[in-house]
Chains A and B, each alone.
Chain A
Amino acid sequence: MDSFLGYRRENGSVGVRNHIAIIPSVFCAAKVAQRIAASVPGAIAFSHPVGCSQVGEDLEITARTLTGIGKNPNFAAVVVVGLGCERFSPGELAEGISCTNKRLETVVIQDAGDSIKAADAGIHYAMGMMQAVSAEKREEFPVSELMIGLNCGGSDMTSGLVANPSLGVASDKLVSQGGSSILSELTELLGTEEILARRACSEEVASDILSAIRSMEERLAGQIQKSSNDKRKNLISTGNFDGGLSSVVEKSLGSMKKSGEEKFVQVFKYADAPTKRGLLLMDSPGHDGEVTTGEVAAGAQIICFPTGRGTPTGFPGVPVVKITGNPRTYERMKENMDINAGKVILGASSIIEMGEEIYAEIIEVASGKLTKAEILGHDEQFCVTRMP
């Protein structure tokens, strides 16, 4: 079995990065979290606009997402920052993360006195954590400890034709050795549910796949009915149309190709922790940031991101490997693209060879090689999805 160099965590999970996460339980604590992170290089603030004035499943998704980010093994330690009166309490967030046994502290603004005092306390916590975690060394682990999240954005015809099938080869190689790979973007799988269900490991999983994609389609149909603006009714973007994709089903067939040929072992809720290892399907719509945030909350240490037209975005604390199938995009956006799968279109590489190259890059990145998005500080993808 192949191996990589990662960081051992207290609960047995393995990180591929060694950051400290500063997580506000509510938007009111965002600036304090940012001030803490700004004072301690290597600490990352997860600012977001939610955490209060929410109920039910909407609030539950916020709770699962923020807790999952805190549990992700790429973060060696966590400072939770609360206001004190929010719906999603800092205590609940900290308790959710504490099962990992990682270093964890909580600062509450209304208890500390004011935002300056809260930031001060948080900086002291983060500083002590950084000293401790900076001494940790990478060790060798089997690739079965890796979980990759799949997401494509800024797609054109080369994504479905070249980049996604190549990524599928890499995903199969990881999954066949006991690793995990998460397919999501259900809005971009509409019309392929019967094909996906045939790839389920059991009838139960097949039924979960069918019902997840059908529910997503019903939800979208309901939203479309409520809009009177025709421009708001299409499920694929202007850039997708310009790139030559004419229907959601056409886009979906290309989208599903990044999950390779392995069998699906589980369908799980957005940002939830899957209980099985292997090829997984996460129930989420197709917004790049919402998908990758849910995948990171589920435990993905690396995101693999095909993009035909080229997007520079990254995720804070989690490497995002950018794969373009379009040689022209690679030439123009070389500083944002990690893998040139356009070599397949040029006849310089086969899909299989390109899949091997992507797989090798995943191992390198897991062992510490920085992606271009990391080097350039791109961190746009973190965002918490909401239920209408």
Chain B
Amino acid sequence: METENYFSDMTRGSSALVLHERDNVGVALSDLKAGDSVTVIEGGGAKYDFTVSEDIAFGHKFALRALPPESRVYKYGEEIGRMSSGVDAGGWIHVHNMYCDRGMK
């Protein structure tokens, strides 16, 4: 994985993970800035370049494609919630634009 700079400096883009083939989100493995190009690693090991459109903090999720309101968000191959508002490809997904009925109402 391209994360050599991770220990010393987690402030600039290196790579991101997609945990399951069904997932429509990637997870940042370092603090990413809008416009950063990251190498996305899929569960099976395949890699491709992708550009994030917002700042994405380490551990946070970004959309792999545009997701309209009410679309399902998949991570680990399972639904973790739905979009409360839309997000562009490469945009940050978190509680400001995603909701989950279970345990949260």
Question: A: which residues have CB within 8 A of B?
Answer: 156-158, 160-161, 187, 190-192, 195, 217, 220, 224, 233-236, 241, 243-244, 246-250, 253-254, 308, 327-328, 331, 345-347
Contact = CB atoms under 8 A, between A and B. Distances in A.
16 contacts: A157-B58, A158-B59, A191-B78, A224-B105, A233-B105, A235-B103, A243-B59, A244-B61, A247-B80, A249-B78, A249-B100, A250-B81, A253-B78, A328-B6, A328-B10, A345-B6
Contacts of A253: 75-76, 78, 80
Given A158-B59, A249-B100, 7 more contacts: A156-B59, A187-B103, A217-B102, A246-B80, A248-B104, A345-B6, A347-B1
B46 to A, nearest CB: 16
Given A241-B95, A253-B80, A346-B6, A247 B59 contact: no
A256 to B, nearest CB: 9
A248 B58 CA distance: 19
Contacts of B3: 345-347
B94 A244 contact: yes
Contact of B98 (A190, A195, A233, A246): A246
Given A161-B17, A249-B102, A346-B6, A244 B75 contact: no
Nearest to A249: B80
A241 B105 CA distance: 16
Contact of A246 (B28, B57, B93): B93
Contact of A250 (B7, B29, B57, B75): B75
B98 to A, nearest CB: 5
B81 A346 contact: no
Interface in B17-70: 17, 19, 27-29, 57-61
A34 to B, nearest CB: 38
Interface of B: 1, 3-4, 6-7, 10, 17, 19, 27-29, 57-61, 73, 75-76, 78-81, 93-95, 98-100, 102-105
Nearest to A158: B59
A288 B95 CA distance: 24
A257 to B, nearest CB: 8
Nearest to A344: B1
A308 B28 CA distance: 15
A248 B1 contact: no
Residue from the set A241, A249, A253 with the largest chain B CB neighbour count within 10 Å: A249
B27 A161 contact: yes
Contacts of B10: 328
B27 A244 contact: yes
B60 A244 contact: yes
B59 A157 contact: yes
Contacts of B59: 156-158, 243-244, 308
Given A327-B6, A327-B7, A246 B100 contact: yes
A226 to B, nearest CB: 14
A350 B104 CA distance: 34
A288 B99 CA distance: 26
Contacts of A241: 94-95
Given A327-B6, A331-B7, A247 B76 contact: no
